[in-house]
């Protein structure tokens, strides 16, 4: 299913110390905007989200035996369910956090089931005709966010657009023309260059930095919210009511996304992470990371497409780099001035960079179809791919209850899997399999 891909630094290769730091910071910049946006939208502390992101990635890496260069950040899938649970409890986060702890345990249970059932079913459930469009949907589904951040919308500011274009071109030129070490840090160079360009245009807002300076709080522990009393920290209570259990069905969505994201990363790295170290271990790592995050008052964790895109562009898949980024995130969670400074990076800079990142992910979906020589002369393949792309990118929504809807990648993948199972195969296809 996988083909070996030539990487500049492979999964188990360690970079030189100076390179290590810069490569890890590149991943931090890639994940930062989305990771802090989730707590901003849900009202939870940003410092806890950063800490949980870092510690979650380290936990995941340990459980997967440092064989998967995944970075875990705050999950968007649970935002509405968490907001509803908090509102139902009149502002109390007990139901939301208890629900997220249980979500992590659901992952663990599913991972145990996968371990006993085996892994051969994965290839049957997710053949190339399903995997290719699924990867394309993951990348293209994020395209609107990149375009919006880049300012290419009705009434958009020319300064924002120009900054995004500058960042995009600079990143692309460094990625294709640079020599030596600069060739593997195009996003770090693009962000720094884009930031200076935005600074010259006057669209950098230093308010977060000034607030930290005025507070004179330059070093502090994250603002943990704990299920037990600890002086200096807020507390919530483990609560097992209907508001809690209403969050659990969202796990169906995120487990589907988990499989899709690991498939994308596997194709980029030329490995099959669902078989080695195995879906049971990746689910276990993701689940325990989410439970620990929720226990500390943070959001659910999930694999980050932004960081997968960085690996795809730089050909650096070293797990040392992603673990290094996790350590930096933990440090940043305790140094408000640094995280505040990073948060001043304009959305235009992130938008220009994201156009490349998300496009790389989508392009890998096309590569899956090409590498496996999927025959679109067969109506069966044409129907499966067409349905997945239209449903995944068309905003289709399938309600599964008051709090849960199946949409985007999860719904697209579900449709692809079902169609692959029920549509008859041609005799030629069956003969080629035997």
Segments of 116-221 assigned E as strands: none
Q: In the Cβ-directed half-sphere of 43, how many Cα atoms lie within 13 Å?
A: 12
> Which position has the higher pLDDT, 125 or 103?
103
Model confidence at 320: pLDDT above 50: yes
325 found inside a domain: yes
**What are 4-39's pLDDT values in tens digits?**
567 899 999 999 999 999 999 999 988 877 787 688
**CA-angle at 174, arms to 172 and 177, nearest 5°:** 100
Is 312 within a domain? yes
pLDDT of residue 3: 55
Q: Is the dihedral of CA 422, 427, 429, 430 positive or negative?
A: positive
Q: Is 239 a domain residue?
A: yes
The mean pLDDT of 235-240, rounded to a whole number, is: 94
Average pLDDT, the chain: 87
Q: In this structure, is residue 25 part of a structural domain?
A: yes
- Classify residue 191: in a domain, yes or no: no
List, in sequence order, the alpha helices (H) in 43-152.
Answer: 46-63, 79-88, 94-117, 121-125, 128-141, 143-149
Structural domain total, the chain = 1
- Reported residue count of the chain is 434
Would the pLDDT of 2 be above 80?
no
Q: What is the pLDDT of residues 49-76, one digit of tens each?
A: 999 999 999 999 999 999 999 999 988 7
pLDDT tens track for 251-291: 876 787 788 889 889 989 989 998 899 999 999 999 999 99
Give ∠ CA 233-238-243 in degrees, rounded to 5: 120
Overall pTM surpassing 0.95 (yes/no): no
Alpha carbon separation from 136 to 8, 207, 296 (Å, rounded): 24, 38, 35
Give the structural domain span for 303: 17-144+203-348+361-373
Tally of CB atoms within 10 A around 379: 10
Is 255 inside a domain boundary? yes
Q: Which residue has the higher pLDDT, 118 or 16?
A: 16
Residues 381-415: tens digit of each pLDDT: 999 999 999 998 998 888 876 655 677 777 888 89
Q: Are 79 and 38 in contact (CB under 8 A)?
A: yes
Residue 50: predicted pLDDT: 93
Tokens of 228: 């037990």
Token reading at 51: 């800490």
**Residues 6+ positions from 294 with CB-CB distance below 8 Å:** 97, 98, 99, 100, 101, 103, 104, 300
Average pLDDT over residues 202-229: 90
Beta carbons within 8 Å of 379's beta carbon, 6+ residues apart = none
Contact by Cβ (8 Å): 44, 341: no
Cross-strand bridge partners of residue 225? 234
- Statement: residue 316 has pLDDT above 90: yes
| pLDDT at res. 69 | 96
Q: With 90 as the cut, is the pLDDT of residue 120 above it?
A: no
CA distance 194 to 274: 37
Task: Specify whether the CB–CB gap between 77 and 261 falls below 8 A.
Answer: no
User: What integer pLDDT is reported at residue 403 of this predicted model?
Assistant: 56
């Amino acid at each position: 299913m996988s083909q070996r891909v030539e990487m500049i630094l492979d999964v188990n290769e360690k970079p030189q110390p100076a390179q290590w730091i810069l490569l890890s910071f590149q991943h931090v910049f890639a994940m930062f905007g989305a990771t802090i946006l989730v707590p901003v939208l849900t009202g939870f502390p940003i410092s806890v989200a950063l800490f949980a992101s870092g510690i979650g990635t380290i936990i995941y890496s340990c459980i997967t035996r440092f064989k998967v260069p995944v970075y875990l950040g705050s999950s968007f899938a649970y935002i509405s369910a968490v907001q509803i649970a908090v509102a139902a409890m009149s502002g109390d986060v007990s139901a939301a956090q208890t629900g997220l702890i249980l979500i992590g345990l659901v992952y663990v249970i599913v991972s145990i089931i996968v371990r006993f059932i085996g892994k051969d079913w994965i290839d049957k459930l997710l053949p190339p005709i399903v995997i290719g469009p699924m990867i394309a949907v993951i990348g293209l589904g994020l395209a609107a966010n990149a375009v919006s951040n880049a300012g290419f919308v009705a009434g958009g500011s020319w300064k924002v657009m120009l900054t995004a274009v500058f960042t995009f071109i600079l990143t692309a030129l460094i990625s294709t023309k640079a020599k030596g070490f600069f060739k593997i840090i195009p996003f770090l160079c693009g962000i720094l260059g884009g930031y200076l360009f935005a600074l010259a245009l006057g669209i950098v807002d230093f308010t977060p930095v000034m607030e930290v300076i005025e507070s004179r709080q330059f070093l502090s522990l994250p603002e943990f919210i704990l299920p037990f009393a600890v002086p200096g920290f807020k507390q919530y209570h483990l609560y097992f009511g209907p508001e809690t259990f209403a969050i659990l069905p969202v796990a169906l969505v995120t487990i589907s996304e988990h499989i899709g994201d690991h498939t994308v990363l596997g194709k980029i790295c030329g490995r099959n992470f669902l078989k080695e170290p195995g879906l049971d271990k990746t689910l276990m790592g993701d689940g325990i990371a989410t439970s620990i995050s929720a226990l500390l008052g943070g959001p659910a964790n999930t694999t980050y497409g932004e960081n997968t895109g960085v690996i795809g562009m730089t050909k650096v898949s070293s797990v040392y780099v992603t673990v290094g980024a996790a350590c930096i995130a933990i440090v940043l969670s305790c140094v408000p001035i640094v995280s505040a400074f990073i948060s001043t990076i304009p959305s235009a800079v992130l938008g220009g960079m994201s156009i490349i990142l998300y496009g790389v992910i989508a392009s890998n979906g096309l590569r899956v179809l090409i590498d496996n020589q999927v025959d679109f002369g067969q109506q069966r393949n044409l129907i499966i791919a067409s349905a997945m792309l239209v449903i995944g990118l068309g905003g289709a929504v399938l309600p599964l209850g008051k709090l849960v809807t199946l949409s985007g990648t999860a719904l697209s993948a579900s449709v692809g899997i079902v169609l692959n199972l029920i549509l008859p195969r041609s005799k030629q296809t069956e003969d080629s399999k035997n």
